[in-house]
Structure 1
Amino acid sequence: MSDMITADLVDLDLSAPTKEAAARSLAERMAALGRVTDLEGFLADVAAREAQMPTGLDGGIGIPHCRSAHVTEPTLAFGRSAEGIDFGAADGPADLIFLIAAPAGADDAHLTILSSLARQLMNAEFTDALRSAGDAAAAAALIRGDEAPAAAPAGASGGASEDSVAVSAAASADTATATAPGPGPGMGPGMGAGAGAGTTDTSAASGKAASAEAERPFRIVAVTSCPTGIAHTYMAAESLENAGREAGVELTVETQGSAGFTRLDPAVVAAADGVIFAHDVPVRDKDRFAGKPTVDVGVKAGINRPAELITEVRGKAARGEVSAGARAGAGTPVERAGDSTEGYGSKLRTWLMSGVSYMVPFVAAGGLLIALGFAIGGYKINKAPSVMDHFVWTQTDSWAALLFQIGVVSFGFLVPVLAGYIAYGMADRPGLVPGFVGGAISVTINAGFLGGLAAGLIAGGVVLSIQRVKIPASVRGIMPVVVIPLISSAIVGFLMFVVIGKPIASAQKGLTDWLNGLTGSNAVLLGALLGLMMCFDLGGPVNKVAYTFATAGIAVASPSDSAMKIMAAVMAAGMVPPLAMALATTVRGKLFTETERENGKAAWVLGASFISEGAIPFAAADPLRVIPSSMVGGAITGALSMAFGATLRAPHGGIFVVPLIGNPFLYLVAIAAGVCVTTALVVVLKGLRKPAPGTAVSGAPEGMATATAEAKQPVAA
């Protein structure tokens, strides 16, 4: 740790008012020492990590962190704030701020040391010593482990070991009666032997073994993980271990962090009475814990309320409750946080968004390739022969045909990918095969997008049902690769071909005919509705529904005129919010904070590129004014686009695909009208308010972090 933090990286009088400003102040110290090569790029990575989950912790701690290509070596910077800075913790602002910067390819040893700091932060003596440190050098030495906290017990004050500062935190526990292994992941064998220390005499007669076993503590295994795998992963582990000691239970934690993970010993898992998952990314090899009482929560719950989790899992074990997911081993990649009270509506939305998120890149790639083919070769390019049979290197039409035909192949994956990853969201990898098969059948029988939705949900449900069946141990090994794919594909195929395929295909045809028949006021109303949806949640589920509806219509080689009008209206409306916020910060900058004005500059590019998320910083800071104003402007743009008869073959691109738009001048007029209306409404509404002193920047940094993360995604919907 000695080379990670020095006195130059410590600010005991950090005066930043916001978490963004705090990160910038500490990052500037890193940049001054040459440890950060691109300050803005690094801060963008920090903001993106913050957008995944706030990094504030109970106890007055903020721990922003990320892995970044702009970091030359693992580095820590520490700041102490007298006023406190809001990092999103439930108990209020943080006065101890640690900025952790890890290179994109940081080695395991360095990441282990970084994670050990996270464990040490759960030690009250350590944080108290930092709050009372008189100079930067002393604070740096304390963090490095050169000096132990003054109040630390003698056994922990001998200095930190060279590979883990966290050892001192673990050593402060009563090792004679410890109920959990050390801070490292996967302590494995010997857990049972240590569990009953003081209650079992190794020289006792074998007749006492049964009573000793009956008196053994309750055994829990836990897995912790977070998106970055540097801080929260290990803090949750330390918190759970400490709570386990206090509760008198054996608790062993497997930390699935950036430095890799050591699997819990199978014997330890087999002997466990319950399981706790505290994670924000999928638990790896989750099926190891099948058949045990399980509590599944987000990683911050593991940090903030470990005692409750232990009580909950003990209660489940006493009642004989075993969660279906744990029994089946069907850990789902999209089931983060794992709120046990989550309703089916929320789960359904998560499953559908899983399919849409995997489908959209195919839409963007295929749609743009098809659009480029039309732009280069004209609207008859779809009649060109296969480029395998006829391709002339010097002919433009041959290249146009190549682009078009590649795009058509890409579009052919849309429905199978949608169905496959809906099933994946429900049942993990076993759902992929029947999901893809069902989606492909939907294409074959012309059930289209609706058929893909149904096939994905059916496939996921069938796999989950199969996984709940108790089977002999002798055939469990072939279940994932033979039995489940075989049975589930047969069932899904039967249902799609024979039972529900034809009704769905008829419904799809009816919807298509209805869209093709829309004219006049009906088309305008549809455009207004789609515009409202695009601007309602700026990239959220409602926005995704409108966008997916539009892209499904053009996901064919020869889309109808109505489908292309819908696509044009959706993209135009999605461009309005960020462009309007950019214009508003330009014409009435005094109504916005300095941060918002900076975001406004980026919003010009984001809006022009059809990235609706560019307006999120503004909506997060002032939702009651920004969102309704955006919806009004989006509705006007969508309605005008439909009224003008603008068409679009590309599913993405913003102003960069204007040459591919039918009636491009009127299309731009529709966008300009919506932008002006939204800008005017925002300016008027903000002008009417009287902000309280010191509250102008509330909410802006968090919103900015979200926008930074979202803006990196290639999807505007």
Structure 2
Amino acid sequence: MKINELLLVDGIALNETAASKDAAIDKLIGLLDKEGCISDKAAFKEGILARESHTSTAIGGGIAIPHAKVDAVKKAGIAAMTVPSGVDYQAPDHKPSDLFFMIAAPVSGSDLHLQALQRLAALLMVPGFKEKLMGAKDKQEFLQLITEQEAEKFPKESAEQAHADKTVPETAPKEQSPESSKYRVLAVTACPTGIAHTFMAAENLEQKGKQMGIPVKVETNGADGTKNELTPEEIAACDGIIIAADKDVETSRFDGKPVLFTSVTAGINKGEELIQSVVDGKVPVYHSTGAKADVSSDLSNDSIGHQIYKQLMNGVSHMLPFVTGGGILIALAFLIDSANGITGGPNFGSTTAVAKFFKTVGGFAFNMMLPVLSGYIAMAIADRPGLAVGFVGGILAMNGSTFVDPAGGKISAGFLGALLSGFIGGYLVRFLQKAFKKLPKSLDGIKPVLLYPLIG
């Protein structure tokens, strides 16, 4: 899927004015609404503001890419707007933003749109391209500039290839020969939604590496999964690793290697500085403790609220497929019974064999959302040792189990109970990890499989 399939003429506004960040957001949402991309403007704005509350989606250089992946999106789409006078969008370089792209991504369905969004992220990192867009005389020229730049950057890909290989991000480097595959610097990029900033950071790090004559390979943790994954051989041979991420990523594989933790925004704006730090040997050696390393922002520690946000999002992102999949199956069960003339009653949705099957499977999937939410929150806090404790806590919350009534079943603790069990279980295991550091090394093998889950 190409960018001009998501960005339409109706979704472009040139030479606009906006008195504030909120006003710019409202105008961009209006453009997406014109394109027929969203079903509820208020709900979509909540998603945009939730992402902005984490970190501003302004990347510096006058560019901002607000985005959201929420249920209010009917179909994937992009809106674009230029504001020559600029808007204070809390950019990392403290300069006004004058070029905006707002991305609307659906929660479920095909991931074809992700390819176009990743391409857009890569195009915006091309030197001089932003200035061309700002100089466009009309909407048609603006869209034509994007189409031409896309064709220039990805000349070999046809529409048929795009559909056949829809899950491969365009920012991934081409296959290299064994002689040229020795990367001096490796990197991992990730942002909470995995739509734009993940791939812009990857593109910038790769470009800066080429300019510096230093081979760089970047693994992306995007909305369509992990791509361009780093191999054990590459990790062993490299000088160091850059983790440019605003969410937790797997770091135990980097044990004993120099690892630089920073934000995804720094990956976009400080690529050369980060690579040079690794090459100069100024990065400390990372030693895995069994817990996920905290991802820092601008080379400083996250606030407590930022850490809690990332841990919560880890649980929610893993929970959503169970909610959507289970909910759709249950809805199909109701639809089948309705088609057979059944409109209500205590057994509605399970009066026919097929409907009962869908409702049962959907119910199982739906009920898994609380243990999954709790388990992956705990895992974000304490890595794999926290997973079992979090899952069990989520099941206890789902069943409403208490010390007085362990069997439960009367009142479920629900979503709030699963949240609490995930955080309590995760931090309990993290405490155990620190407390057990003094135990003999001969016990290291039984800590994650016996001590942590049993005591937790």
TM-score, scaled to structure 2 = 0.67
Cα distance change on mapping 1:353 and 1:54 into 2, 3 Å: closer
Residues in 1 aligned to 2:109 and 2:426: alpha-carbon distance in whole angstroms: 41
The count of corresponding residues between Structure 1 and Structure 2 is 361
Using the TM superposition, name which of 452-461 and 225-234 deviates more. 452-461
Residues in 1 aligned to 2:304 and 2:287: alpha-carbon distance in whole angstroms: 15
1:293 and 2:258 are equivalent in the alignment? yes
Residues in 2 aligned to 1:12 and 1:348: alpha-carbon distance in whole angstroms: 37
Match of 1:67 in 2: 69
Cα distance change on mapping 1:53 and 1:9 into 2, 3 Å: same
- Higher radius of gyration, 1 or 2: 1
Match of 1:683 in 2: none
Match of 1:11 in 2: 13
Match of 1:131 in 2: 134
Classify the secondary structure of the residue corresponding to 2:244.
strand
Listed as ranges, the gaps of 5+ residues in structure 1 are 150-154, 165-181, 196-215, 359-416, 445-450, 494-717
1:118 and 2:73 are equivalent in the alignment? no
1:460 and 2:440 are equivalent in the alignment? no
Match of 2:280 in 1: 315
Q: CA shift at 1:267, angstroms? A: 2.9
Instruction: Judge conservation of contact 2:254–2:286 (CA < 8 Å) in 1.
Output: no
Residues in 1 aligned to 2:389 and 2:154: alpha-carbon distance in whole angstroms: 59
Q: CA shift at 1:428, angstroms? A: 1.8
Residues in 2 aligned to 1:289 and 1:304: alpha-carbon distance in whole angstroms: 24
Q: CA shift at 1:350, angstroms? A: 5.6
Residues in 1 aligned to 2:155 and 2:271: alpha-carbon distance in whole angstroms: 28
1:227 and 2:175 are equivalent in the alignment? no
What is the aligned counterpart of 2:296 among 327, 331, 337? 337
Match of 2:385 in 1: 430
Residues in 2 aligned to 1:313 and 1:470: alpha-carbon distance in whole angstroms: 34
Higher helix share: 1
Cα distance change on mapping 1:465 and 1:100 into 2, 3 Å: farther
Residues in 2 aligned to 1:268 and 1:421: alpha-carbon distance in whole angstroms: 28
Q: CA shift at 1:98, angstroms? A: 0.7
What is the aligned counterpart of 2:30 among 28, 31, 34? 28
Residues in 2 aligned to 1:229 and 1:268: alpha-carbon distance in whole angstroms: 24
Instruction: Judge conservation of contact 2:190–2:222 (CA < 8 Å) in 1.
Output: yes
Match of 1:408 in 2: none
Q: CA shift at 1:32, angstroms? A: 2.4
What is the aligned counterpart of 1:86 among 82, 85, 88? 88
Q: CA shift at 1:19, angstroms? A: 2.2
Aligned-pair identity in percent equals 33
Q: CA shift at 1:280, angstroms? A: 0.8
Match of 2:287 in 1: 324
1:167-566 matched pairs, under 5 angstroms:
184-185=171-172, 190=176, 192-194=178-180, 219-262=184-227, 263-283=229-249, 285-316=250-281, 321-325=284-288, 328=289, 330-332=291-293, 335-337=294-296, 342=301, 427-431=382-386, 458-462=431-435, 479=445, 482-488=446-452
Match of 2:347 in 1: none
Instruction: Judge conservation of contact 1:427–1:464 (CA < 8 Å) in 2.
Output: no
Q: CA shift at 1:456, angstroms? A: 5.2
Q: CA shift at 1:460, angstroms? A: 2.9
Match of 2:106 in 1: 103
Residues in 1 aligned to 2:291 and 2:199: alpha-carbon distance in whole angstroms: 25
Cα deviations by residue, 1:11-68 (Å, 9 ceiling, x for unpaired): 1121122222122212222222322222222222212221121011111001111113
Higher strand share: 2
* RMSD value, Cα: 4.3
Residues in 2 aligned to 1:18 and 1:352: alpha-carbon distance in whole angstroms: 26
Cα distance change on mapping 1:252 and 1:434 into 2, 3 Å: same
Cα distance change on mapping 1:453 and 1:9 into 2, 3 Å: closer
Listed as ranges, the gaps of 5+ residues in structure 2 are 161-168, 316-372, 397-402, 405-423
Cα distance change on mapping 1:341 and 1:127 into 2, 3 Å: closer
Instruction: Judge conservation of contact 1:422–1:460 (CA < 8 Å) in 2.
Output: no
1:141 and 2:144 are equivalent in the alignment? yes
TM-score, scaled to structure 1 = 0.44
Classify the secondary structure of the residue corresponding to 2:248.
coil
Classify the secondary structure of the residue corresponding to 1:14.
coil
Match of 2:59 in 1: 57
Residues in 1 aligned to 2:171 and 2:33: alpha-carbon distance in whole angstroms: 32
Equivalent position amino acid for 2:63 in 1 = I
Equivalent position amino acid for 1:291 in 2 = G
Match of 1:512 in 2: none
Equivalent position amino acid for 1:100 in 2 = I
Classify the secondary structure of the residue corresponding to 1:256.
strand
Equivalent position amino acid for 1:270 in 2 = A
Residues in 2 aligned to 1:30 and 1:133: alpha-carbon distance in whole angstroms: 20
Equivalent position amino acid for 1:138 in 2 = E
